Structures are given as structure tokens and as C-alpha cells.
Chain A
Amino acid sequence: MSQRMYPGMSPDEKTTFAPYSAFDIPADLRELHGRYDVEATARRCRNFRYAEEWMMMILGGWVATIPEVPVKTGLGKIIWETAQAADELGRRLPELRCGRKAVEASEASNQAFADFIQALSDPEQPDLSIEKLAGIFDVLKPHLVEVYERTMRETDQISDAPTIEILDTIVRKTRRHIAWGQEVLDRLCDTDATRERRRKRIDLINAKLAECGGVTGTLESDRGSLH
């Protein structure tokens, strides 16, 4: 009997092709189910987008009031990459049943986070580069990397893979931003007094961030879930 190319209607009319198991080659150890359902992931994306969009706008406001030329030019690239992060997160929203117009939806997790963002944007004067940069590069961006990585670990690895891919790219670039910020701040803070200013600013912004529960408003329970 010649080989059957296509299955027939009865159990003895199967083809003879050996099954190819994606679970065997290579071993796929991922398990279904994650901490967030579609609605929760969409909310997180809107929260993340809110943070990225506002960071981009605040950095834009500061370029003109920061006197150090390499800081101005370095921020130019970071502004663009931060805008791209917000854009990618927005484009995920229609895929999460938020409607086609949702691409521009940003949402603060709560009023306290919106207030936190405004506090972050407070410094204006040209002698406040340390305060400006420490808020973003010592506190908010590292916080976002922490939350993004936790989201990538805790969401459904297969069903929500598109979110993971987006966050993966953002984390990679954000780590570069943080490294740049550290280098600039280390250079700007070369005396005890300036190091003290940086530390004070970090403490203040960190305290405010803890108060509002971070970008998703769930900082405490999130951190608890890790342990």
C-alpha cells in the first residue's frame, strides 16, 4: 500500500508521518499561566507607557536648562529611545483588546504616581543638573528595569510573549541609559558636597516612589511576591 499523504475519515486512514514534537527538540520547559491576565497586562502597559512618555517630556524640558553640552547631546538620544519605548508599549495595547485608538493611552497607576512624576520634574535652574539626573537615572529608570524584568518573569511566557519581547528591548536600552547616567553623575559629583546632594535627591525620590507604590502602584505586594 502506498503511503497516505493526507488523513482520511477513519482511524485506520492516518498518515505515516512521525510526529514532530516541539517539546522534544529543543526541550520547551515553559509552562502556561502567568500572574497577569489580558486586562492586567494592558493596565501595566498603560502604566509603563505613562512613565516612559513623561520621562521623555521631562528630559526634553531639561535639555535647554542643563549647561553641560555632552549631557545635552547624550539626552537627545535617550529622549528618542524613551519615546520609542512609549511607542512600542502603546502599540501593544490594541493587541490586548483595548481598541485601535489605544496606541496613545497612557495612564498613571494612581494620583500619587502622577504627583511623583511632577515632583521629579521640579528642578529647573541650570545649577541643578545633579538633582535632575539623579531622579531619573538613579531612581526611576532602575525602578522601571526592576518592574519590567519582574513582569517578564511573571507573565505567561507563551501567551504574553509579545509583551516580553517589547520589554526585553526596552530593558536593554534602559540599562545603557542608566550606565550613561551613572557615568555623568559620578563626574558631576566629584566633591563631598555634590555627592551629598546626589544622595539626598535619591533618598527623597525613592521615598516618594515607595509612597505611591511605584509605576504600577503595587510595589510592596510585588516585592513580597518575590520572596
Chain B
Amino acid sequence: MKRFIHHSELARDSRFVRQDNAQSTVLAQMPDDVETVVNIFDQFTPMIEESVRGTAAQALFDEYGPGFALMVLNEPLDPDSPISKTRLLLRMHGIFVGELQALEGAARSLWDFPDAPWEFKMNMARQCWDEGRHVQIFEKLLTHLGGEVGMFPESTFLFECACSEDPAMRVAGVNRGLEGLACDVFRDMIRYAEKTGDETMRQAVDYVLADEITHVRFGSEWVKAFTEGDPDHFKRTQDFRREVDKQFSFGGARSDRPDAAIPIAWEDRVEAGFSEEELRDLAELSVGGPSKKTLIEAARILRERHQARKAEQSKETGQ
């Protein structure tokens, strides 16, 4: 068996649909400019349409056009909004595939780094069990909320970004970048479950969050151990983690902005070994990218254009 696999090699059963990662890459780098954002989405329309066909996201595409993700990402989850259920399921499904890739990433670390210290292998092995349980938990929560596996396309952007071939970089990207993001997302899900009175979801996610804090701590400790005596290497791991953080801030949707859809889980992250300085840095870098105003305006234009195109098409087929 070879070492290091490409994200396209993640094996899936027949329920799953893949999403092109090019889309996520571009979305992660959008500037704060309505016209540019609209143009980017326009350019990706065929790809987005193709990736949602036959999935539950098709309804969102039909309604909002290619910019539906902007609507989904930038509004906090609100149980009273009309498309709240679809959006909740979209997020749940995203978390489910994220857990799947976290399991695969931790497991691959055992094979990819055979000469790593034993304690590192023990930590990764433990993480395999935890992530395996998380996959089971979110599959059950997805069903609990009326969804199912494969209802939305899966982006393997997470695995692609974080699975570096350098063990220090990998734990920095996966365990500090992505697991840190998981802390933010899960803290937000707990708030949502409290609001809706969903005790099943609240308690399950509460346990998952406890596990994730442990995983971030693994990352905090191993980055230090792997880069000991090599400040240059340490700096590169920090830069890599910041890059991952930036890519997964979804243009400020996950940030410390007062209007953020997913706020930074400050206290949980401190417990997991993030320094105050790192957190201030995260708060700063995650607000970059387009403002909420820009994205909502872009989404409005994209929706208008989409509706106009649909009207045009139905006129043509009607004649």
C-alpha cells in the first residue's frame, strides 16, 4: 500500500456524490467586491448545477440560483426561517462528511508516518475511534432531523487542504485548523439545539465537542514536539494552519464579527491549547474576505439573474 493518497481516492459507497473542489478553492479567496463575487458564481453555474442535480440542494439551486451557498453560509441558523430545515440538513450533512474525512485523515496518519513517535500513533489511533463515533453520531442526527446520507454533494476540500505530507503540518492543519473549526461549528450547533429544545442533538453534540477539544490539544502538543528546536519549521506550520483557517472562514461567515453565522468558540479553543495571541490572530484573519453586505447583494443579483434565465427558458420551451 502506498503512502499518501490524493483526496479523489477517498472511497465512498453509491449514495455519495462528489463536488468539484475548484469551487471551494475560489470561494475561499473571494475579494470584497460584489461584481467579482457575482462573476465568480456566474462562471461556476454549470458546475454548481451539475453537482446539485438529483440531490436535496437542487431545490435551493432552483430557488436561489448558483449563489444559494451564500444564503446558506451567511445567515445564522434560524429555526423560524422558511428554508431553515434544508439549511440545517445541509450543514449537518457537511459535518457528517467532515467527520468521515477526519476519520480518514487520522487513520492515514498511522500509515503515512510509520516512523512517528509511539505516543503520536496512540493519539491518532484514539482519534480514529472518536471520529468513527462522530460519523455514527452525525449519521444518526441526520436521520433524526429527516435527512439522509448522500442527500447533498460532498466536497473533499477538507482532506485536500489539511492532509500535508509533513506530520507537523498535518497536525497543524487538521488538528488545530479543522478541529478548531469543528469546535466553533459544534458550539453553534449546541446553541441551535438549545433554541429548538432538541435535547437529543444538544447532548450528542456536547459530547462530540468534548472529543474535539481533546483532538485540538493533540494538535497543539504535537506541533510543538515535531518542530522542537526548529523555529523556522514551527513558523511554517503556523502559516499553514493560518492558511487553512482562512480557507475555512468562508469569507468571514466563521469569525468574530457580530454578524458571523458561526462565531469563534473562544473559551473552548483556550481549553484546547490555543493562546490568546493565536485567537486574536484568528479573529483578525477570518474577518477578511467579502463582507456580509457584499455577499448578500451578490446573492440578490445572482437570484435575479437566475430567475430571469428560468423565465427565458420556459418562454422558449413554451413556444
Residues of A bordering B, CB below 8 Å: 53, 56-69, 72-77, 79-80, 82-84, 87, 90, 103-104, 121-124, 126
Contact = CB atoms under 8 A, between A and B. Distances in A.
A79 B149 contact: no
A64 B9 contact: yes
B139 A69 contact: yes
Interface stretch (B128-136, B178-186, B257-265): B128-136
A60 B1 contact: no
Contacts of A126: 11
Interface of B: 1-2, 5, 9-13, 100, 103-104, 106-112, 114, 117-118, 121-122, 124-126, 128-133, 135-136, 139, 149
B107 A79 contact: yes
Contacts of A59: 107, 110
Nearest to A129: B11
Contact of B107 (A76, A122, A124): A76
B27 to A, nearest CB: 25
Contact of A58 (B111, B126, B135): B111
A76 B132 contact: yes
A73 B118 contact: no
Contact of B132 (A56, A64, A75): A75
B129 A58 contact: no
B136 A56 contact: no
B92 to A, nearest CB: 15
B149 A80 contact: no
B105 to A, nearest CB: 8
Given A60-B110, A61-B111, A72-B103, 8 more contacts: A56-B121, A60-B111, A64-B104, A69-B149, A76-B133, A80-B125, A83-B126, A103-B118
Nearest to A118: B1
6 contacts: A56-B121, A67-B11, A76-B133, A77-B132, A79-B110, A87-B122
Contact of A124 (B2, B106, B121): B2
A-B pairs, 8 with minimum CB distance: A76-B132, A60-B110, A61-B111, A83-B125, A63-B107, A126-B11, A80-B129, A64-B104
Contact of B128 (A53, A80, A87): A80
Contacts of B149: 69
Main secondary structure of the interface of A (DSSP, over half): helix
A19 to B, nearest CB: 47
B82 to A, nearest CB: 32
Given A57-B111, A73-B135, A68 B128 contact: no
A139 B214 CA distance: 35
A104 B2 contact: no
Nearest to A120: B1
Contact of B108 (A53, A60, A68, A124): A60
B111 A67 contact: no
Contact of B103 (A67, A76, A84): A76
A199 B11 CA distance: 24
Contacts of A69: 13, 100, 135, 139, 149
A75 B128 CA distance: 8
Contacts of A124: 1-2
Contacts of B103: 63, 72-73, 76
B129 A77 contact: yes
A77 B126 CA distance: 8
B1 A123 contact: yes
Given A72-B104, A83-B125, A90 B110 contact: no
Contacts of B121: 53, 56-57, 83
A72 B16 CA distance: 15
A90 to B, nearest CB: 7
B109 A66 contact: no
Contact of B104 (A63, A77, A103): A63
Contacts of B125: 56, 60, 79-80, 82-84
A69 B209 CA distance: 22
A69 B149 CA distance: 10
Contacts of B104: 63-64, 72
Contacts of B136: 73
A79 B114 contact: no
Nearest to B125: A83
B15 to A, nearest CB: 9
A205 to B, nearest CB: 15
